[in-house]
Structure 1
């Protein structure tokens, strides 16, 4: 099949943890993914604590010699920072195969030091993108009108938005595409900061709490139940775990983006939003810990498992609504959005082409919500629960399968889920061996319905 023509410069930004980091000597300090992830995390704990940032770093760099050196290629996670996320190699390969995009020419991955403030990384983005666009425009006459298209997963969307909306990037940007970006934050980030996490006897809470970036991922909406109803985390004095100054600065960061959203430009912002997955949206504070809840205002947001649906689009400063509509709503989990088949099809239209129609029979999609633990201790069974909405035809008579695939072409186990009525299904896998896994759940014979959850087995966390 001929590649679809793209004359713009496409820049790909990963999410938090999605960039490989090295020290001044070129030695990796964060580069664990795929089959090496489990074994590497057992020895990485001490190194991670040494990556902690000094207090009051603000939007600066700690001067520790750490530099980004590339995108993560496969499944990766740091317990206590974020849920597992798949790699970006397949996304970059797909872009090269399906479009006239080539790495080193008009396809530019942008790794960044995800520990640091989104403002700092937006400045770095500016210093890389603007000369890259100038080179691309000068490389051929037909490219003189080329502009930048940003394709951003998760936190990468906040970095790109700050550049486009606050640092003049709108002057050379055609469109900004976000995949699961927490435009209004994620409760998971706040829970990780407050509750902390211990891994293999090491307290990673101090590392997490030193990161400006993780604070900038906390909810920019009232999310913690207080005496008078839901309150903003920044308005709760003495909330343990968080750095009050970083939390207040995160509020200013989001406020600046909201104000920018009120000033319309010709830049297209397309928010691709994962839906249908059990997603923590609010929390109750009890006994010094946050207890996540899926409901807000009596409704279940059912986002992508990490970012609530209400947070996956930017709001405006006037508080009158969202700055942009949802561009595409795949039934998929956060860490797998960049590799979702429907998202790949949607990119055709967003990059200026009509999407190929090969999505199966009309009405064949089934929305599946998958609940599976992102971290499992060695020796424990792996339990999977699935929900199907009541409006689904044959809600309780679907044939659903779950494939547990070890990352790196390891063993594959396929279970048929058992129905329990009311759209509830489940299955249990015998205790998997330690390692990284992809769980693919779908309706038999309907590939469009598949949802991919990511899991790390064998690292003991508290």
Structure 2
């Protein structure tokens, strides 16, 4: 099939942890993915602890020689910092196959650029690097042919990458050359998951394996910039408070938190231009997602609801956060461009999301005439992002009550090692009232993908990602 024409420069930004990092001598300090993920995390655990950042770094670089060297190709995770996320080379390969996009090579300009970055650092710092790289590549691309002189930039951003791109376009002048910013599960208003990781540290049971990276996580400006920018901590009487109004909350650096608030406020003010940058926000929906929290018993306990409503999200980023608030905080700055029944770590590889990218890159949507029938059933999947040795793998699935025959579905789940070994398959047991469940024997250490689908629609699964730790050997 012929590739669809795209004249613009397309820049792909990964989320937090999605870029390889190497030290000044080129040795990897964060380059772990694939089926041997747990062993690699253990091997690099000491290196990651040494990557802790000094206090009062602000928007600078610590001068430790660490640099980003590429995007991660496969499942990656750091326990206690963020949930597992899939890689980005599959997305880049698809963009190159589907469109007239090609990466630059020495001496040859290209219009498909992967932008890895040191995800430890402030989004402001990385936005400055994005400005330099984008404007350099666009200048080369425009100069390479007469019909490219009016080319502009399209940013495709997963998770925190959307905050980096927005700061460049909204605050550093990038809107002048940008056609649109496409965000996939970006926590525009923050994520309770980030706050819980900071406040609680590594959950009990992992510390004995030498991987307590809590101090490392708490030194990161980037992770603080993912803390909710809305009232999310439940107090007496059910009132909700902003994190910044809770002095003494453990694990949160007050200076980094205040700076994160200023970062989000700056984005809101800058976006309030007469002609704002076109922003297309893709949100994952129907997955059970921590949206508020309550501090009790010395821990921050995530809660699913906000003001008695369970709005869901992508399992990591609440739906209310997947698009930004406007400058006055009276509503949303943009509408939802698309909602996908998918989990956060797999949005960039979801089939429905790719159909949205096809449209947003200026092409007519693919239309196939088929036998008709019902479309895929929306599924909310709850599966563990982290497992300890010997724990069985349990998955529960909910089908919304407004779905026809929501309590009569045939649902299958496949649990597959990330390195591509044989999958274990289970038919989910119907518990009634649209609830389904299955259990797998305790998996071996490593990374896993769980694909869940309804009968007749294996092409539209919901994908959950899991890291299984080792036994401490």
Q: TM-score range by the shorter chain?
A: over 0.9
Equivalences for 1:374-385 in 2 at 5 Å?
374-385=385-396
Are the counterparts in 2 of residues 376 and 459 from structure 1 also a CA contact under 8 Å? no
Q: Between 441-450 and 333-342, report the one with greater CA deviation.
A: 441-450
In the other structure, the counterpart of 2:101 is 101
In the other structure, the counterpart of 2:358 is 348
Q: Between 252-261 and 159-168, report the one with greater CA deviation.
A: 252-261
Ranges in structure 2 where 5+ consecutive residues have no aligned partner: 105-109
* 3-state SS, counterpart of residue 296 of structure 1: coil
What is the distance in 1 between the residues matched to 2:255 and 2:470?
32
Q: Between 200-209 and 152-161, report the one with greater CA deviation.
A: 200-209
Task: Give CA deviations for 1:201-226 in whole Å, capped at 9, x if unaligned.
Answer: 34211000000000000000000012
1:416 aligned to 423, 427, 443, which one? Answer: 427
Deviating beyond 4 angstroms after TM superposition, the runs of 4 or more aligned structure 1 residues are: none
Are the counterparts in 2 of residues 368 and 449 from structure 1 also a CA contact under 8 Å? no
2:184 aligned to 161, 168, 179, which one? Answer: 179
2:235 aligned to 201, 216, 226, which one? Answer: 226
Equivalences for 1:32-431 in 2 at 5 Å?
32-104=32-104, 105-197=110-202, 198-199=206-207, 200-227=209-236, 229-265=239-275, 267-358=277-368, 361=372, 363-431=374-442
Aligned-pair CA distance for 1:432: 1.1
Are the counterparts in 2 of residues 432 and 457 from structure 1 also a CA contact under 8 Å? yes
Are the counterparts in 2 of residues 399 and 444 from structure 1 also a CA contact under 8 Å? yes
What is the distance in 2 between the residues matched to 1:253 and 1:247?
10
Aligned-pair CA distance for 1:51: 0.3
Aligned-pair CA distance for 1:266: 5.3
What is the distance in 2 between the residues matched to 1:452 and 1:218?
25
Task: Give CA deviations for 1:18-75 in whole Å, capped at 9, x if unaligned.
Answer: 0000000011000000123111112222111100000010100000000000000000
Q: Between 354-363 and 226-235, report the one with greater CA deviation.
A: 354-363
What is the distance in 1 between the residues matched to 2:443 and 2:58?
42
Aligned-pair CA distance for 1:412: 0.6
- The 3 A distance-change label for structure 1 pair 225 and 436 is same
In the other structure, the counterpart of 1:17 is 17
What is the distance in 2 between the residues matched to 1:338 and 1:359?
26
Aligned-pair CA distance for 1:348: 1.0
In the other structure, the counterpart of 2:107 is none
Task: Give CA deviations for 1:309-352 in whole Å, capped at 9, x if unaligned.
Answer: 00000111212211110001010000000000001111111000
What is the distance in 2 between the residues matched to 1:248 and 1:406?
41
Is 1:436–2:441 an aligned residue pair?
Answer: no
- What's the TM-score once normalised by structure 2's chain length? 0.96
Task: Give CA deviations for 1:51-101 in whole Å, capped at 9, x if unaligned.
Answer: 000001010000000000000000000011110000001000000000000
Ranges in structure 1 where 5+ consecutive residues have no aligned partner: none
Are the counterparts in 2 of residues 12 and 152 from structure 1 also a CA contact under 8 Å? yes
* 3-state SS, counterpart of residue 461 of structure 2: strand
Are the counterparts in 2 of residues 55 and 210 from structure 1 also a CA contact under 8 Å? yes
- What's the TM-score once normalised by structure 1's chain length? 0.98
Aligned length: 461
Are the counterparts in 1 of residues 351 and 460 from structure 2 also a CA contact under 8 Å? no
Are the counterparts in 2 of residues 186 and 306 from structure 1 also a CA contact under 8 Å? yes
Are the counterparts in 2 of residues 261 and 315 from structure 1 also a CA contact under 8 Å? no
